[in-house]
Structure 1
Amino acid sequence: MITLPSRALLALVLTSALAGCASLSPQPRNADITELLAERGGPAVDWSAVAGTDEEAESLERWLSEPMTLDAATRVAMLRSPRLREHYARLGLARAEVLEAVEIENPRLSFQRMSIDGGGHNRTTGLSMPLLDLLLLPAKARLAATDYDRARYDVAGAVLDTVADVEAAWYAYVTARQVAGMREAVSEAAEASAELAGRFHAAGNISALQLAQEQAAASQAYIEALQARADAGRHRLALHTLLGLRGEETNWEASDSLPLPVPAEDDPEQLARLAGDGNLGVLAARAEAEVLADALGLTRKLRWFGGSEIGYEREREADGARLQGPEISLELPIFNQGQAKLARAEARLMEALARVQQAELAADNGVRMGAQTVAALRDVVDIHRQALVPQREAIVARQQERQNFMLIGVFELIQAKVAEYDAYQAYLEAVRDYWLARVELARLVGRRLPSDAGIEARTPSLEEILGPGEAPAMDHSAHGGMDHSTHEDAKPADAEEMDHSMHEGMDHSMHKAAKPAEAEEADHSMHEGMDHSGHDMPADPEPADVPEKSDDEAPSDQHDHHHGAIP
């Protein structure tokens, strides 16, 4: 027995128990995450709005009523994304683990009544608590706080990952929507060529083989247009899932252009330093190793006190005498000296240190590789913008001149126009790939890239690429080298309309083309409003009234050509 004042012991036990829980709130605070996000250029997350409020509904309606920009998509995700709700729940679980870690086991109350031969009873009342819990309480509170920091890093990193996924999905959808429009235009050009070939064949100016080639090219272009439209639909649905939208909320319009590459890329060495100091995955791994290192030290010091208890006991004898005082029970470490606990703690620390090294290595090498990828894709964008697209436009202009002087046929001019559209599509896809690479680079750095502040200029929209020639001259200073003065061609023969449901608001009345041979009529209802008067294909020359040649005999003015070539 250890002689201690009973009241002082009881006060010590109760004070220790209450001190472990009084300073901690049961719910996570907004500041626990918003500070980490703000430091890294992330969005402001109002966790109180996760459950849905009137203000949320008003904000959502306002953002969905305007063209969906990247910033608007991110804001919608912060309000409605199911993934963010999941992350908030994870933060609550981490908070619960902190509360559990700083709690000590409840005291045990014991009561004993023993009868004495000849009459009378001995009564014993006791109150005991685990000694180890009391000794570890300050250390457990410290470990819990560090582990909560690790959980904060994990959840904040998950929020930034959600933002990166939304950005990538937005880039992919906007590009897929533009590509679908380009494939529609290519399909129309191919259909115009096929329809014209049919008239030439009827007049005997081309062979059946040439007609079949034109019709096959038109059918292939039509298939690619349908595939591009379906691909855009899939990307839109994927974006809806990330944003948490459904039903009437999905009736929003997308922004019709992508930003151009930033004026200057970031220094890879600077990005590597930012990743080392601010990558949330690296910080979480370091915090975990710190917790386990501290836990290992405690295990080494206190492994001898596994089942020890401290308490107070009061006994009343049959003759009325009373015995009372504190008690302590110690576990004798004869058979189990805590070797397994120590080995487990050491192994967990080694594992955590290995994860830290892996996270640091992945961040450093990943950032350097990502920076190289971004630089390479930037070069690809510049080549498209400054070389390939202007060259294709110049070819169309020269072919138009040659066709005007009847040096080539209309088929060659249509082929050149198709190649120009293909070049524009490749250019838009190159811009998309550049931004997707930057999204992954920012994910590795763990924050928005410093050069994001220089985002200003944008690519031409689909309407500008395919727009009327009589409109005001387009300013190409933002994507230097592109001269659109060569966008004028004569229009193709009228044909039945195709489905332009992916391009609402575009008027193709001047750009109609024939449907593929034996194909059902398609609907242009989603391509309404786009005026292609400035992008017309060559006017159909009247086929010469000459006797029809055999299928195996090529006409003397025959020009070999190919269709649908992608630069």
Structure 2
Amino acid sequence: MIRVSLSAPRPTAGRLGLVLLAAALLAGCADSIAGKGFDEAAQTAGAALGRQPVWIRSDEDRAKAQARVAALLQKPLDPDDAVEIALLNNRGLQARYAELGLSAADLAQASRLPNPGFSFKRLSSNGDLDIERQFSLDAMGVLTLPIRHAIEKRRFEQAKLKAANDILVTAANVRQAWYRAVAAQQAAVYVGQVKDAAEARVDLARRMRRTGNWSLLDYAREQAFYAETVARIARAKLSAAAERERLVRLLGLYGGDLAFTLPERLPDLPAALQDTGDLEARALAERLDIRAGRAEVAGLAASLGLTRTTRVINVLETSYYRNSLSGQSRQTGYEIRLEVPLFDWGDAKVAHAEQTYMQAVDRLAEQAVNLRSELRESYGEYQTAWDLARHYRDEIIPLRQKISDEMLLRYNGMLVSAFDLLGDAREQVDSVTEAIAAQRDFWLAETSLRFVTLADTGRPDSAPALSLAARN
């Protein structure tokens, strides 16, 4: 009779430390891949923005970011500073960077050999002892490791492009929100000045009415103009507050940071339209969603090849045996386990992979068609917005000022009535408000054109066909 006694060594502190160290190194591998991937995405987006994105992953990173945000808020925000604050402080954008971490973990997992298996069986009967030991390895997992790694690497490249696209979309939305907020604030200030003038005029009309120099009709018209101006300024203040809050949300600000200031007026119009060159060719080559679509198609093509290769051999496992039996020689050998494709030949799996691939191809083609259309639309808006803003600046506003000066002279000479003077004042208010809106629309269109060649912004905040709908 043979007795076999097996005992496991007691784990020591040193061995436990080695296990923990190995686990940390494995976890750090995926983390390192994600960090390098973000650096590449940040470099891609940062080159277009002139501001470097930061992935905040520690308390130290957050402290540095908060210090930088506080410094930028000490002066009136320009659009570039607003973009930098959003890149540091927008928590939704920071959350989207986690997709890089998930994709990096998948890539790290695909880079590792499948774990081997070990089994031990001990049977005894009437003093006889039967010991069976088995060592197994997923051979198919080993053979397909290079292909699986290549597929996950392409998916990781897609994740990097998506992260860069998210950065650029956030930057575009911040710039447009900044222009809207400044324009709304500028319009509210102007309407406030009109209100002050209307208040002074209605007070003068009240005194003149008491002395009998004004008719009841003229006095009522002045009162109506003042009342309408009060309503107009209420709407203007509400619009300015709403646009400022939209900017605040994108910047991720709260608490004491809400006291930041904006410039008093929008930037001046450029002297000429920018030379856009071959927008279509540049956009098709550089736009991130198109590049991500190409990477997806390439990845699915590789996946389709793997699916076709393994459509029959779904399970291939090899095992090594070393058995001991009382009174007999030790047995060694191996076992190969192969799944027999008796009922499922893998045709459904291949068909699914083929349809997924063709779906991605058609979506990429649709993206290219839509991109060409968006370019034409964006450039049309950009050019028309520039023409309209210049028209208001160079033609309408100077003419309105001349008319106002002439009307005031004629009124002082008693050649026109107070009603005529009041009607001119109303038209002048509308013209100035529309001029501000036209200037705002130009900068919205300029931002839209700038980013349409870089990222899929979806044009959510672009000017609504220059409708001037935001009149106050």
Give the TM bin, normalised by the shorter chain.
0.7 to 0.9
Distance 1:237 1:72, change over 3 A: same
Partner of residue 137, structure 1: 145
Deviations 1:159-209 (A, max 9, x none): 111111111111011000000011112223333333333334333344434
Q: CA deviation at 1:389?
A: 0.5
Partner of residue 165, structure 2: 157
- 1:26 equivalent to 2:31? Answer yes
Instruction: Write the distance in 1 (CA, Å) between the matches of 2:121 and 2:180.
Output: 74
Partner of residue 430, structure 1: 438
SS in 1 for 2:333: strand
- 1:369 equivalent to 2:374? Answer no
Partner of residue 105, structure 2: 96
Give the structure with higher Rg (CA). Answer: 1
TM-score (norm 1): 0.71
Partner of residue 353, structure 1: 361
**Matched AA of 2:122:** R
Partner of residue 270, structure 1: 278
Partner of residue 185, structure 2: 177
Is residue 193–residue 214 contact of structure 1 (8 Å, CA) maintained in 2? yes
Deviations 1:385-408 (A, max 9, x none): 111011001112212322332322
Partner of residue 108, structure 1: 117
Residue 279 of structure 1: which of 274, 279, 287 is its match? 287
Q: CA deviation at 1:420?
A: 3.0
- 1:302 equivalent to 2:310? Answer yes
SS in 1 for 2:247: helix
Deviations 1:328-375 (A, max 9, x none): 211111111111211111111011111111211121211111101111
SS in 1 for 2:312: helix
- 1:127 equivalent to 2:135? Answer yes
Partner of residue 194, structure 2: 186
Is residue 102–residue 141 contact of structure 1 (8 Å, CA) maintained in 2? yes
Deviations 1:195-247 (A, max 9, x none): 33333433334443443333222111101101101211111122111111111
- 1:393 equivalent to 2:398? Answer no
Q: CA deviation at 1:259?
A: 2.2
Partner of residue 66, structure 1: 75
**Matched AA of 2:333:** G
SS in 1 for 2:321: strand
SS in 2 for 1:129: strand
Distance 1:188 1:209, change over 3 A: same
Distance 1:77 1:219, change over 3 A: same
Is residue 193–residue 414 contact of structure 1 (8 Å, CA) maintained in 2? no
Residue 328 of structure 1: which of 336, 352, 372 is its match? 336
- 1:56 equivalent to 2:65? Answer yes
Is residue 56–residue 94 contact of structure 2 (8 Å, CA) maintained in 1? no
Distance 1:327 1:262, change over 3 A: farther
**Matched AA of 1:26:** D
Q: CA deviation at 1:140?
A: 0.9
Is residue 308–residue 329 contact of structure 1 (8 Å, CA) maintained in 2? yes
SS in 1 for 2:44: helix
Q: CA deviation at 1:280?
A: 0.9
**Matched AA of 1:204:** G
Q: Percent identity?
A: 29
Q: CA deviation at 1:49?
A: 7.0
Instruction: Write the distance in 1 (CA, Å) between the matches of 2:262 and 2:294.
Output: 41
Residue 217 of structure 1: which of 225, 228, 235 is its match? 225
Distance 1:268 1:360, change over 3 A: farther
**CA-atom RMSD, angstroms?**
2.6
Q: CA deviation at 1:134?
A: 0.8
Residue 337 of structure 1: which of 327, 342, 345 is its match? 345
Larger CA deviation: 104-113 vs 215-224: 104-113
Deviations 1:27-72 (A, max 9, x none): 4224222221134345201224775444333322221111111122
Is residue 94–residue 151 contact of structure 1 (8 Å, CA) maintained in 2? yes
Larger CA deviation: 231-240 vs 208-217: 208-217
SS in 2 for 1:303: coil
Task: Give the paired residue count.
Answer: 430
Distance 1:333 1:447, change over 3 A: closer
Residue 45 of structure 2: which of 21, 37, 46 is its match? 37
**Matched AA of 1:387:** E
Distance 1:43 1:359, change over 3 A: farther
**Matched AA of 1:285:** G
Instruction: Write the distance in 1 (CA, Å) between the matches of 2:455 and 2:274.
Output: 13
Distance 1:394 1:250, change over 3 A: same
**Matched AA of 1:342:** V
Partner of residue 297, structure 2: 289
Instruction: Write the distance in 1 (CA, Å) between the matches of 2:229 and 2:217.
Output: 18
Q: CA deviation at 1:311?
A: 2.4
Deviations 1:471-518 (A, max 9, x none): xxxxxxxxxxxxxxxxxxxxxxxxxxxxxxxxxxxxxxxxxxxxxxxx
Partner of residue 467, structure 2: none
Is residue 282–residue 359 contact of structure 1 (8 Å, CA) maintained in 2? yes
Distance 1:266 1:313, change over 3 A: farther
Is residue 87–residue 159 contact of structure 1 (8 Å, CA) maintained in 2? no
Deviations 1:279-332 (A, max 9, x none): 111111111111111000111012222121022111223224112133321111
Distance 1:412 1:195, change over 3 A: farther
- 1:252 equivalent to 2:257? Answer no
Distance 1:267 1:327, change over 3 A: farther
Instruction: Write the distance in 1 (CA, Å) between the matches of 2:389 and 2:225.
Output: 28
Q: CA deviation at 1:249?
A: 1.0
Structure 1 unaligned spans of 5+:
1-17, 449-565
**Matched AA of 2:102:** L
Instruction: Write the distance in 2 (CA, Å) between the matches of 1:143 and 1:264.
Output: 47
SS in 1 for 2:133: strand
- 1:77 equivalent to 2:86? Answer yes
Instruction: Write the distance in 1 (CA, Å) between the matches of 2:50 and 2:346.
Output: 46
Instruction: Write the distance in 2 (CA, Å) between the matches of 1:23 and 1:181.
Output: 55
Instruction: Write the distance in 1 (CA, Å) between the matches of 2:300 and 2:50.
Output: 30
Q: CA deviation at 1:128?
A: 1.1
